[in-house]
Each structure stands twice: as C-alpha cells, then as structure tokens.
Amino acid sequence: MVALFCIVGCAVGPNFVRPKPPSAERYTRGAEPTTTVPADGQVQRFEKGAQVAGDWWRLFNSPKIDAVLEEALANNQTLQAAQASLRQSQDSLRAGYGVFFPQANAGFGATREKFSPSNIGSTSPSIIFNLFTLATTVNYTLDVFGGERRAVEALRAQADFQRYTVLATYLTLTGNVVNTVIAEAAYRAEIKATEEMIRLLKDQVRITETQAKAGTVPYSNLLSVQSQLATTEATLPPLQQNLSQAEHLLATLAGRAPAEWAPQEVDLGDLKLPGNLPISLPSDLVRQRPDILAAEAQLHGASANIGVATAALFPTVTLDGTFGFTNNSLKDLFKSASTYWNLAADASTPLFHGGTLWFQRKAAKEGYQQFLASYRQTVLNAFAQVANTLRALEHDAEALRAESQAFASAEEALRLIQTNYQAGLVNYLQVLIADNQYYQAKIGYLQAVAQRLQDTVALFVALGGGWWNSKEKTPGNSDVSVPAGAALLTR
C-alpha cells in the first residue's frame, strides 16, 4: 500500500509529444519561384520566411472588401456556431476540473415512522415517532494512476480542437468573402464587356441590313452578323446568373438574407494585386495552419484516451466521510448527543472482465494510430495546397501576360479593320472576325486578372491566414482559465 501511494501524482499511459515538423525545406519540386514574370505591368515576389499579415485582405486596398468582411465576421452563422461549440468545450473542461477536488453534499430528512417491537420478538406496543436527520457527506477519489487526469487532458485537447476549428472557420470565411467579391467584380466586368459587344453587333446588324437592301453586300453577310449577335447574347444570361449567385453567396456569408442585403459594388480595376507575398517555412506552417493544429489536438486527445484506458486496469481508491445530526425532536437536533460520523476508505481492483478492459486499451492505441495517420495526411495536404498555389501564381502571371498581349493586339486589329472598312478597303467578314477576336480576348483578359487575384487569396489561406499576427482579437484565439493547482495535472 505504501508503494501504491508513492506513485500518486504519476499518470499511466503515454505523455503526449507534439509531432516533429517535417524535414522538407520547400514546398515544390525543384527550385521554388522567387518572382513571377511581369504581367499587366505587375510582378509578384515570394518572400520566403516572411510573416503573413493577420489582416492580409487589406493588401488588396479595397475599403469595400473590408466593410463586407466586418459584416461577415460579426454575423456569419457558421462562425457563431463554431464559437458556441468552443465555449461548450471550454465549459466542459472547466467542469472536468472538478474531479481534482473533494465532492461535498448536504442533506436534510424528516421521517414519521411506526415501529413494531414484534419484529425483534418483543411484546411491547408499537411506537410512532419522528426522525430528523441533517448530514454532510464528503467523498474523494484518489487519482492514483492518473485516469482522471488523463480524462481531463482529453477534455483539454477537445477544447483545443474546437478552438482551431473556430480559427479554420474564420480563415475559410475570410477567404470565401474575398474570393466572392473578386468573382462578383469579374462577372460585372464580363457582363459589361458582353453588353458592349452586343451594342456593337447591333450597330453592325443595322449597317449590314442597309447595305444588303442597297445590294452592296450579299444577304449572307447579314445572316452571319445576326448569328454572331444571337450567339453573343446567349452568353449574357449565364454571366448574369453567376453574378446573382455570387451576390446571394456574399449575403449568406454576411449572415443576411439575399433579399435584405447587398454590398457596395467593387470594380475589378479597383483591386490592388499584392506585390510581395510572404511564404512561411514548412516547419512554421505546421504550427500555424488551423486544420493541422486541429488534427494535432485530436491526436493529443487520442493519446490521453490511452491513459484513461490504461488506468482502468489498475485499482481505484475512494475516501468517504459523513458527519451529521439525528434526533426524533427537531429542537434537540443540534445537541451533542445527536451527532454521528463515519470515515471510510474503499479500494477496488478489476479482476476479470472477460477481456473488456484490455481490448478497450488496445482500441485506444489503435485510435491514436488512426489520428496520427490523419495528422500526417493533413500536413501533406497542406503542403500540396501551398505548392499548387505557388505554381498557380507562376502560371497565372504567364497566362495574364499572354492574355494581355492578345487583348492589346485584338484591340489594335479591330481599330485598324474598322478604319479600313469605313474606307472600303476590307469586307465585312473581316470586321466580324476582328470583332469576335476582340471580344474573346477581352473576356480572356478579365478572367485571367480575376484568376490571379483569387489564387493570391488562395495562397494567404493556404499559409494559415496569419491569425497569430492579428492585432485584433481573432475568433477562437483565446484560452480557458485553469483552476489553481490543476495546470500541472494535465500536462
């Protein structure tokens, strides 16, 4: 028994150790990019090891984006649900700390009873009496093998998991809002370009119709331009539908009904492309991305569960005490003769449970392996996401440069063709071809601009969003208070 109490303060089962950061020093195969090619007059530079700003969206220099995000962070229901789950887990943790303290209860009872002495072989007459009892009981379970401590450690890990879930929700929300604003601006620009093209084609239909009636051009020219007009008009409704969906999504992200809220319109040309992009080191990424930290918290909880299952194999010791007053007269209840008390110590140990406890421990160990594999996969997915985004930004710049050159060439070609057509030097088929090339080039250019902006957003999200550098209080970036003396018990 002395040896038993000598190990009080120790907890069976493994002590959790955070997985080591991966040995990888870069995200992409081969040399990582340091800059993109110049595109549309802008170059993006990758600064390895630089810190991600907590308010990274402000780098786009759009007060309208800032306003939408402020609305979304205040009213988004998914974020509020995650925050409520965090508070719930923190309260469960605070409740769990109660096992480290004695449990005391008080009770009062009043009984009127008829006692028959014949039950004990006496011929005395029955007695009717009152019995009043006031008692306090105290019990305390000695956490000899640390099962309770491991259980609280698991609760702590669950609170950490919910905290990082809130941060992941926050990160996803900010990324979705900025991406949706960019998409909305791009759809508006494409709609505007399409409407300009439709207006131009309608003018050309009127001109060609007049020429056909005058016999200066064949009627097939009129049919061709009318076909082109109808084809271009058919592209407008899908763009308008995409714009409507983006507007509705933005309202939903902001916690509002689509019919009741509309943000200020953002012009694609007003958005500034961030030029200097911080790239966190791989060893830092695993300590910053909320999804990785959430997977680590789940791994921690699984480790603690092994300790809980291991402690169940060992004896438990409970101390109990009772002190109270009992008397058949309420006015005499607190006299010294009415007092009673008892002290007790109970110890129990499992002997045979048909293998239940043993296999519960094995199941807990396999659960740890499951979460370890999930953690490693989460890290791999995160690295792949950063690598994909880095390459995407490289290719976005190359694509935008080509689209920009194509757009400039198509614009100049259309200007020259229209001048020559008015001078009678080219036929209308050449004008029609130039019109179509100009329209396609402009749409391609706008899409390339939007894609580059959205992939820049994706990079900030892939790097964890910089919540640890936020000057303002980030949702979920809080801790739970720990009762004095209990902190050491859950390490």
Alpha-carbon dihedral of residues 84, 86, 87, 92, nearest 10 degrees? 130
Please list, in sequence order, all residues whose beta carbon lies within 8 angstroms of the beta carbon of residue 30, skipping any fewer than 6 positions away.
Answer: none
**What percent of the chain has pLDDT above 70?**
94
Residue 4 has pLDDT above 50, yes or no: no
Kindly write down the DSSP assignment for every residue of 43-62, as one continuous string. --EEEETPPPPTTGGGGG--
pTM as predicted: 0.87
Angle subtended at Cα 475 by Cα 473 and Cα 476, rounded to the nearest 5 degrees? 110
Share of the chain above pLDDT 90, in %: 68
pLDDT value of position 70: 92
Q: pLDDT: is 228 or 401 the higher one?
A: 401
Best CA proximity match to 131, nearest among 330, 324, 322: 330
Structure confidence by residue, pLDDT tens digits, 458-482: 999 999 999 998 876 677 665 555 4
CA–CA dist 454, 424 (Å, integer) = 45
pLDDT at residue 374 greater than cutoff 70: yes
Q: How many residues does the chain have?
A: 491
Q: Which residues contact 225 (CB under 8 A, 6 or more apart)?
A: 201, 204, 205, 208, 428, 432
Please give the CATH topology (third level) of the domain spanning 8-101+145-319+355-490.
Outer membrane efflux proteins (OEP) (1.20.1600)
pLDDT at 344: 93
Amino acid in the structure at residue 166? V
Q: What's the pLDDT tens digit per position in 333-361? A: 898 889 999 999 999 999 999 999 999 99
Whether the Cβ atoms of residue 400 and residue 47 lie closer than 8 Å to each other: no
pLDDT tens across 84-122, in order?
999 999 999 999 999 999 999 999 999 988 877 777 777
State pLDDT tens for residues 255-311.
999 998 877 889 998 899 999 999 999 999 999 999 999 999 999 999 999 999 999
Angle, vertex CA 39, rays to CA 36 and CA 44, nearest 5: 35
CA-CA distances (angstroms) from residue 60 to 266, 307, 444? Answer: 12, 49, 22
Q: What's the pLDDT score for residue 52?
A: 94
* pLDDT recorded at residue 204: 81
pLDDT digits over 164-174, tens only?
999 999 999 99
